[in-house]
């Protein structure tokens, strides 16, 4: 037998060097992975900060519409409630489309489970509820021009000016009598109005934003119509929960102008009639920059 030569065999020193090279190579790969993980973590942090700043920044709302984010949230809330009520088939008949709608709604509302929803699960964010109120102002007169007064309880009685103090000339060395205004108190109560908006049946995940815009716009138009009806035409009956609007309050205070019995068309009103009507308006209202005339088509 021929003994192995030194060139054919691996010495312990060569095996150690080979093992050390493999360790160094593995360590380099580990350091590379660690560096990539650090960079990825930094990128995720930057993305989170960007998303947080995007949600906290004011949303630009187009005139006559809500923002796309608000529309998506409204539609997702609607879909979630349809799923909760077991009525999702009434919204979409295709099973795959229903699953897609539910997936989009959960992603939008950050719902990760199939637990039953409650009224506190998906509240409307503050900035979105503000968009809806502003959208109502785009269509309605009452909300746009009447001064809103916040009510912190069921009924509020804010003070309002009665007889104003008469300011006038006083002699330089003369005394003047104290002049105090009289105050009255208004009565403001909380009332709630609402309704139902119907949607077409075949909806897919591509139209969720359009569905939200439809819900917001349709609802805003109807809310504006109801608020204008109450603000102008409420007559104090049970149908309006004893609330009186501008027209009825003017009638109660004899601030109306009635045309002759034969004058029954809008074209019968003359310029003199409008001048006589102006004389019935309080001067405090005429002096205000926000004063306006509203004329119904009838």
The answer to whether residue 112 scores a pLDDT higher than 80 is no
Q: What is the pLDDT of residue 56?
A: 44
Q: Which residues of 225-240 are buried (b: 16+ CB within 10 A; e: fewer)?
A: ebbbebbeebeeeeeb
Q: Who has greater pLDDT, 47 or 40?
A: 40
Confidence of residue 271 (pLDDT cuts 50, 70, 90): very high
**126 within some domain:** yes
CA–CA separation, 123 and 105 (whole Å): 14
Q: What is the pLDDT of residue 225?
A: 93
| Domains held by the chain: number | 1
Q: CA angle 235-237-240, nearest 5°?
A: 80
Q: What is the pLDDT of residue 6?
A: 46
Q: What is the pLDDT of residue 27?
A: 67
Share of the chain above pLDDT 90, in %: 15
The answer to whether residue 53 scores a pLDDT higher than 70 is no
Question: Which residue, among 244, 222, 241, 220, has the nearest Cα to 233 in the 3D structure?
Answer: 244
Q: What is the pLDDT of residue 206?
A: 74
Q: Who has greater pLDDT, 170 or 50?
A: 170
SS3 per-residue string spanning the chain? CCCCCCCCCCCHHHHHHHHHHHHHHHHHHHHHHHHHHHHHHHHHHHHHHHHHHHHHCCCCCCCCCCCHHHHHHHHHHHHHHHHHHCCHHHHCCCHHHHHHHHHHHHHHHCCCCCCCCCCCCCCCCHHHHHHHHHHHHHHCCHHHHCCCCCCCCCEECCEEECCCCCCCCCCCCCCCCCCCCCEEECCEECCCCCCCCCCCCCCCHHHHHHHHHHHHHHHHHHHHHHHHHHHHHCECCHHHCCCECHHHHHHHCCCCCCCCCCCCCHHHCCHHHHHHHHCCCCHHHHCCCCCCCCCCCC
Contacts of 5 (CB under 8 A, 6+ apart): none
């009685």: which residue's tokens? 157
Share of the chain above pLDDT 70, in %: 77
Contact 89, 102 (CB under 8 A): no
Q: 28-42, 99-113, 223-237, 247-261: which has the minimum mean pLDDT? A: 28-42
The answer to whether residue 141 scores a pLDDT higher than 60 is yes
Question: Which residue, among 220, 261, 245, 12, has the nearest Cα to 131 in the 3D structure?
Answer: 220
**213 within some domain:** yes
The answer to whether residue 57 scores a pLDDT higher than 60 is no
Q: Is the pTM of this model over 0.85?
A: no
CA–CA separation, 7 and 11 (whole Å): 9
**292 within some domain:** no
CA–CA separation, 134 and 167 (whole Å): 40
**172 within some domain:** no
**52 within some domain:** no
Question: Which token pair is 10?
Answer: 């691996």
Mean pLDDT, rounded, for 89-107: 84
Question: Which token pair is 68?
Answer: 């796309």
Q: Who has greater pLDDT, 37 or 6?
A: 37
**Domain with 208 in it:** 62-145+202-259
**207 within some domain:** yes
**157 within some domain:** no
The answer to whether residue 98 scores a pLDDT higher than 80 is yes
**246 within some domain:** yes
Q: What is the pLDDT of residue 252?
A: 94
**Four-point Cα dihedral 239, 242, 247, 249, nearest 10:** 170
pLDDT digits (tens, 9 = 90+) for 142-169: 988 887 777 876 788 888 777 777 788 8
Count the residues in the chain.
298
221: left (phi over 0), alpha (psi -120 to 50) or beta: alpha
């Amino acid at each position: 037998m021929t003994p192995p030569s030194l060139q054919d065999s691996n010495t312990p020193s060569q095996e150690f060097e080979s093992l050390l090279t493999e360790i160094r190579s593995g360590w380099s790969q580990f350091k590379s992975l660690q560096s990539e993980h650090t960079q990825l973590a930094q990128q995720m942090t930057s993305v989170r900060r960007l998303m947080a700043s995007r949600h906290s920044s004011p949303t630009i709302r187009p005139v006559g519409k809500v923002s796309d984010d608000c529309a998506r949230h409204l539609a997702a809330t609607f879909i979630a409630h349809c799923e909760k009520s077991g009525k999702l088939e009434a919204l979409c008949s295709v099973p795959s489309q229903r699953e897609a709608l539910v997936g989009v709604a959960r992603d939008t509302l950050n719902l990760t489970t199939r637990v039953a929803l409650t009224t506190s699960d998906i509240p409307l964010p503050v900035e979105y509820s503000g968009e809806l109120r502003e959208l109502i102002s785009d269509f309605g007169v009452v909300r746009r021009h009447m001064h809103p007064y916040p009510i912190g309880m069921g009924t509020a009685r804010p003070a309002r000016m009665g007889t104003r103090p008469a300011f006038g000339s006083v002699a330089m060395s003369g005394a003047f009598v104290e002049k105090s205004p009289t105050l009255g108190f208004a009565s403001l109560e909380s009332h709630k109005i609402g309704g139902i908006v119907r949607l077409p049946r075949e909806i897919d995940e591509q139209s969720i934003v359009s569905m939200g815009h439809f819900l917001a716009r349709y609802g805003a138009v109807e809310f504006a119509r109801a608020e204008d009806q109450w603000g102008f035409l409420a007559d104090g009956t049970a149908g309006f929960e004893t609330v009186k609007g501008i027209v009825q309050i003017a009638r109660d205070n004899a601030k109306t102008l009635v045309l002759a019995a034969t004058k029954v068309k809008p074209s019968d009103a003359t310029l003199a009639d409008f001048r006589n009507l102006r004389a019935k308006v309080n001067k405090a209202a005429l002096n205000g920059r926000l004063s306006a005339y509203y004329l119904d088509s009838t």
